[in-house]
Amino acid sequence: MSDENSTQQPTILSYVRDLPNLLSLAGLACTVLAIYFAITGLYAAAMIGMVWAVAFDWADGLVARKLKGRTPTDAKFGGQLDVVIDIVSYGVTPAILLLSYGHFQPLYLIGAFVMVAAAAIRLSYFSTYGLAGGTKYTGLALDNNSLILVFIFLLEGIVSNGTFSIILYASGVGLAILNVSEIKTPKLSGNPRNVYLLAAYTLGITAVYGFQLI
């Protein structure tokens, strides 16, 4: 006989009504666009998608912390959703960018695998141990990958394609190594000043790459 006092399990799609989860999905939409434009070779548009994915990623955390009435289950679901989206945004997307810029040559598969594998390992470690001392990440946080790569991509067009492909490859693999290293880095999204800096950076990157699209 079932317990009449037990609460009914919510439906899967009921979590879509949660504002932080909607922001997470908006970030995923930006990521899908970034992947699409990277594959088609419209890299300026891909960079805009990548940086806005970070902006929405930070926004969902800020909103979740300030939103009243969220249950522990809501928070757990949101955390799991973030992890899944993060591996796509910060692991798969940069790897596809590298593959596309390398014209999908087999050599670039190695770098792409290293980037995705590092993201998976990094997220699994964080899910297990959380913040070191409650304040710092172990290894470079994955959102930094996109923030750094969209800045590095400004060199594309300034140097030769061959040179830039080496720079992009080395940068992607280098970031992957930092992701799984033992370095301690602060949680940037928890500082209001950093939120304003990210907003300015996002708008600036959007303006620069948007001008290239005109």
DSSP string, 111-134: HHHHHHHHHHHHHHHHHHH-SBTT
Number of C-beta neighbours around residue 148 at 10 A: 17
Residues 190 and 207: their CA atoms lie apart, in Å, by 26
Residues 32 and 36: their CA atoms lie apart, in Å, by 6
Let me know if residue 31 belongs to a domain.
Answer: yes
Instruction: Give the mean pLDDT of the chain.
Output: 92
What confidence score (pLDDT) does residue 2 get?
46
Q: How far is CA 207 from the centre of its chain?
A: 20
Let me know if residue 4 belongs to a domain.
Answer: no
What confidence score (pLDDT) does residue 7 get?
64
- CATH number for 146: 1.20.120.1760
What confidence score (pLDDT) does residue 4 get?
44
Q: Which one is predicted more confidently, 131 or 146?
A: 146
Residues 65 and 179: their CA atoms lie apart, in Å, by 25
DSSP 88: I
Let me know if residue 5 belongs to a domain.
Answer: no
Q: pLDDT tens digits, residue range 132-188?
A: 887 899 999 999 999 999 999 999 989 999 999 999 999 999 999 999 999 998 888
Let me know if residue 87 belongs to a domain.
Answer: yes
- Residue 119 token pair: 């993201």
Looking at the structure of the chain, the number of domains it has is: 1
Q: How far is CA 4 from the centre of its chain?
A: 43
Structural domain harbouring 71 = 17-213
Q: pLDDT > 90: what percent of the chain?
A: 75
What confidence score (pLDDT) does residue 198 get?
95
Let me know if residue 27 belongs to a domain.
Answer: yes
Let me know if residue 1 belongs to a domain.
Answer: no
Let me know if residue 139 belongs to a domain.
Answer: yes
The mean-pLDDT minimum among 20-24, 120-124, 187-191 falls in: 187-191
The mean-pLDDT minimum among 53-67, 86-100, 114-128, 150-164 falls in: 53-67
Let me know if residue 160 belongs to a domain.
Answer: yes
